[in-house]
Amino acid sequence: MIIINGQTIDAPDNSVVSVIDGVVTINGKQVTESKQVKIEVVGSLISLSVKNGNAFVTGDCGSIKCEDDLVVKGNVTGDIESKGDVLVKGNVGGDVDAHGDVECQNVTGSVDANGDVVMKAK
């Protein structure tokens, strides 16, 4: 399930979600368009790409590209690229590249951040 600007949209687990300039696609199909997109993902995704917007993920994701801030309340099995801050409440299986601050539990790969890096291993 994905919540976009407060509207719930059904998206099966392991979907590929892309948000580019307000156009939201799930598994290659356009589902909505808005000038400003606030996206919240509940469940698991293969990948998430957000251009010109923040992302909030409750669940697990394969890889994430986000041009603004990113919050994940789950694990990321792949890489994270963000032009903003990154907060991951779980583990990251790949690399983290952020232009802002990074806060994660464990990161298997490398962390490259222009801001502060906080690792909270459990």
Q: How much is the mean pLDDT over the chain?
A: 88
In the predicted structure, residue 58 carries a pLDDT above the cut 70: yes
Number of residues in the chain: 122
Tell me the pLDDT band of 115, cut-offs 50, 70 and 90. Answer: very high
CA torsion sign, 28 to 107 to 74 to 119? negative
Q: What's the whole-model pTM score?
A: 0.83
Tell me the pLDDT band of 36, cut-offs 50, 70 and 90. Answer: low
How is residue 28 annotated by DSSP?
T
Backbone phi, psi, residue 72, to 5° = -125, 120
> Regarding predicted confidence, which is higher, 45 or 112?
112
Residue closest to 75 by CA, chosen among 116, 115, 45? 45
pLDDT confidence of residue 122: 67
pLDDT confidence of residue 35: 66
